[in-house]
A = this chain, B = another copy of it.
Amino acid sequence: MKKLINDPNAVVADALSGLAAAHPGLLYVSHVPAYVRRADAPIAGKVALVSGGGSGHEPLHTGYVGPGMLDAACPGQVFTSPTPDQIHAATLAVSGGAGVLYVVKNYTGDVLNFEVAQELARGDGIEVESVVVADDVAVRDSLYTAGRRGVGGTVFVEKIAGAKAEAGATLAEVRAVAERAATNVRSMGVALTSCAVPAVGRPTFDLGDDEMEVGIGIHGEPGRSRMPLRPADDVVDMIMEPVLDDLGVVAGDEVAVLVNGMGGTPLIELYVAAKRVAEVLASRRLEAPIWLVGNYITSLEMAGLSLTALRLDAELKALVLAPARTLAWPTGVATQ
């Protein structure tokens, strides 16, 4: 697979250099150890939000660093957990004295390394709490984790916790609303093609010219089943129905929806999928006042999509719609 890179082992470092050069007004980039923080951090008296994970899922998490979302993001190597020293350094850099919340996707390495960093920060006298996102209904356990994987729901958790922290809430309050968001969000994805990790140089898995992998993980981990590619409406039904069933929504509920591209799917196809998502929601008499449609959490150049539904209450809705200023949060969402 062709890559627009220099050295396969320098992809993350080069991309961080690009990020630093392009957005100095918004972001500060530390190269060793690697983390990206708000240029104006630390904010005295504000709860700080730190996330991170393997690279290759951009814009997650660096694209969500900025006022109203994350204070810092720690990018690991491609599809590799960030190390405790990265997370610890980011924590020290953004701590404003009101505590720090970690938003962690449920992968064994991520959970472990954030736990170590939490211990280190507590040793420094910084109060740290964590919320783990485990929203993928496709499989119970997988290659990289025990329990459900953390995927697209993470974007909503980061937005909600970020807005709550920006509003001046305490660490306990930010953690509580982040937990409530994580509890009320579900996702599932499908892949039409594999991706290739630059340092590996070959596709992560093989998929036939007429096949799709239903329930794909964001690192190309196996899903529920492999089957012939079907029309978009059928594909949406196959992944949206389990998401809504597992979430347990009932007629009259409000949900926020993420129709997410995995990196290689044209935006026009995501809107074809959005059409069917709207039909599924209508058939269940669900209201969807908030939609994100685009590449929000990707798997390098993988073709495919994931669907995420977040059950809203008045506070969660207001927090998703609250202002934010980041590279990947769109200006148009607050208008709903």
Contact flags (1/0) for A306-336 with B, using CB distance below 8 Å?
A: 0000000000000000011111111110111
A230 to chain B, nearest CB (A): 10
In the complex, which residue of chain B has the Cβ closest to the Cβ of A67? Answer: B335
Q: Is the CB of A271 within 8 A of B5?
A: no
> Which residue, of A63, A232, A334, has the highest number of chain B Cβ atoms within 10 A?
A232
From B4, B267, B301, B303, give the contact of A235 (CB < 8 A).
B4
Q: How many interface residues does chain A have, given as a range?
A: 35 or more
Q: Is the CB of A273 within 8 A of B18?
A: yes
From B56, B266, B332, B334, give the contact of A263 (CB < 8 A).
B266
Which residues in window 117-169 of A have CB below 8 A to B? none
> Which residue, of A12, A24, A268, has the highest number of chain B Cβ atoms within 10 A?
A268
Chain B residues with CB under 8 Å of A268's CB are 11-12, 15, 55-56, 58, 78, 300
Q: Is the CB of A274 within 8 A of B4?
A: no
Which residues in window 186-234 of A have CB below 8 A to B? 192-193, 209-210, 212, 229, 231-233
Contact flags (1/0) for A1-43 with B, using CB distance below 8 Å?
A: 0111111000110111111011111100000000000000000
Cβ of A96 < 8 Å from any Cβ of B?
no
| Complex: A19 Cα to B305 Cα, angstroms | 16
In the complex, which residue of chain B has the Cβ closest to the Cβ of A23? Answer: B291
| Complex: A305 Cα to B259 Cα, angstroms | 24
Cβ of A293 < 8 Å from any Cβ of B?
yes
Q: Is the CB of A2 within 8 A of B272?
A: no
